[in-house]
Amino acid sequence: MTDEQEQVQPSGVWATAVGVARVRALESARENALFRDPLAQAFAAAGGLWPSAPLPDDEAARRRRLGVAFSIVIRTKFLDDLLRQASASGIRQVVLLGAGMDSRAFRMDWPEGTRLFEVDTAAPLDFKASVLRREQAVPRCERRTVTVDLREDWPGALAAAGHDPAAPTVWIAEGLLIYLPEDAVEVLLARITAQSAVGSRMGLTLGSRGVIERFGADAAPGPAASMWVSEMPDDPIGWLAGHGWEAAGHTLRERAAAYGRPISAPPQHDEGPGGLISAVRR
Ligand SMILES: C[S@@+](CC[C@H](N)C(=O)[O-])C[C@H]1O[C@@H](n2cnc3c(N)ncnc32)[C@H](O)[C@@H]1O
């Protein structure tokens, strides 16, 4: 059997990771792309999302789809920059929680000695592995995959894969927390904190208040928004401070303007799917 025949097709929550790859492939093809992800198209194609489907006719659905795609592009750039800053600060451990089709291990420059962990469940990691094999992709750092459900006791699995909690880590939870119930998010953050030496960093995306109602309510089964279950707390900075993190919050609008992609719609329509958080462990 060939790799292609064996390939599991995306389903459930992890199918969203292939949708994210589709957005990154589209962005990578732009002349003024905010990042280039050369593997994204292969992930999207393997999941049946390339060539990309036309936008829906319905104006509201169209706006929602473009809004989600825009937020993915901006958050990707935001977290790429956060990771570069973490590397520059001397951090050599990277953990991508709910890594999906994230290809940063392959597409970014990493300092010598960087160890990058991709944590996700078995189906997306297997799917990803078969695409990476076909593409003969070579990581640019020491890449390790950790197959575990993040609602379970994942720190043990991460440690078994070689993570050292005594050395600082940069953690990324991109497009993940919105899929976890609030109590699971709370436990996840406590566990991240327990594995974070002083000086560790973190980049999070949080569903903005009201986004589930605005984006998810009329989503047919299947689209990512219909699986969203949690939004950011009222005071995300205070919430993180309570866990021992000094955090800063950024809006999509502010980051988009900084990256030369200003949002022209008035602020009340600005509420994209996620707040962008950077944090340092004190
Ligand atoms: C929207 S995708 C984002 C993927 C990646 N972070 C990115 O931005 O490209 C959400 C990812 O979270 C993963 N995920 C959701 N719930 C999870 C859980 N309980 N344990 C592990 N991974 C989970 C899914 O499998 C999927 O890969």
41-57: per-residue pLDDT in tens? 999 999 999 998 888 88
Confidence of residue 273 (pLDDT cuts 50, 70, 90): low
- 230 Cβ below 6 A of ligand 1: no
Tokens of 174: 């991109």
Alpha-carbon distance values, 223 to 36, 63, 65, 142, 273 (Å): 25, 14, 10, 33, 14
Percentage above 70 pLDDT, the chain: 93
pLDDT at 242 over 90: yes
Mean model confidence pLDDT for the chain: 91
Tokens of 239: 């919430």
pLDDT at 222: 58
- Which residues touch 173 (CB under 8 Å, ≥6 apart)? 97, 98, 188, 192, 202, 203, 204, 205
**Residue whose CA is closest, atom 9 of ligand 1?**
102
**Residue whose CA is closest, atom 16 of ligand 1?**
179
- 280 Cβ below 6 A of ligand 1: no
Contact between 148 and 157 under an 8 Å Cβ cutoff? The reply is: yes
Confidence of residue 13 (pLDDT cuts 50, 70, 90): confident
| Residue-range definition of the domain harbouring residue 250 | 3-281
pLDDT digits (tens, 9 = 90+) for 188-208: 999 999 999 999 999 999 987
- Which is the closest atom of ligand 1 to the Cα of 96? 6
What's the farthest any 2 CA atoms get from each other in the chain?
53
- 153 Cβ below 6 A of ligand 1: no
Task: Kindly give the distance from the C-alpha atom of residue 99 to the centroid of ligand 1, in angstroms, as a whole number.
Answer: 6
- 203 Cβ below 6 A of ligand 1: no
Alpha-carbon distance values, 207 to 31, 91, 174, 276, 279 (Å): 29, 27, 11, 9, 17
Confidence of residue 1 (pLDDT cuts 50, 70, 90): very low
CATH number for the domain spanning 141: value is: 3.40.50.150
pLDDT at 3 over 60: no
φ, ψ at 247 (rounded to 5°): -115, 155
Give the total number of structural domains in the chain.
Answer: 1
Residue entry with tokens 């940069």? 170
pLDDT at 126 over 50: yes
pLDDT at 204: 97
Candidates 126, 80, 74, 121; CA nearest to 104 is: 80
- 223 Cβ below 6 A of ligand 1: no
Percentage above 90 pLDDT, the chain: 74
pLDDT at 281 over 90: yes
Please tell me the pTM assigned to this model.
Answer: 0.94
- Which residues touch 107 (CB under 8 Å, ≥6 apart)? 35, 36, 37, 38, 39, 140
pLDDT digits (tens, 9 = 90+) for 137-166: 999 999 999 999 999 999 999 999 999 999
pLDDT digits (tens, 9 = 90+) for 58-101: 888 888 888 889 999 999 999 999 999 999 999 999 999 999 99
**Residue whose CA is closest, atom 27 of ligand 1?**
100
- Which is the closest atom of ligand 1 to the Cα of 149? 20
- 98 Cβ below 6 A of ligand 1: yes
Task: Kindly give the distance from the C-alpha atom of residue 124 to the centroid of ligand 1, in angstroms, as a whole number.
Answer: 9
- Counting Cβ atoms within 10 Å, is residue 92 exposed (0-12), middle (13-18) or buried (19+)? buried
**Residue whose CA is closest, atom 7 of ligand 1?**
102
Region 253-261 average pLDDT: 96
Task: Kindly give the distance from the C-alpha atom of residue 100 to the centroid of ligand 1, in angstroms, as a whole number.
Answer: 5
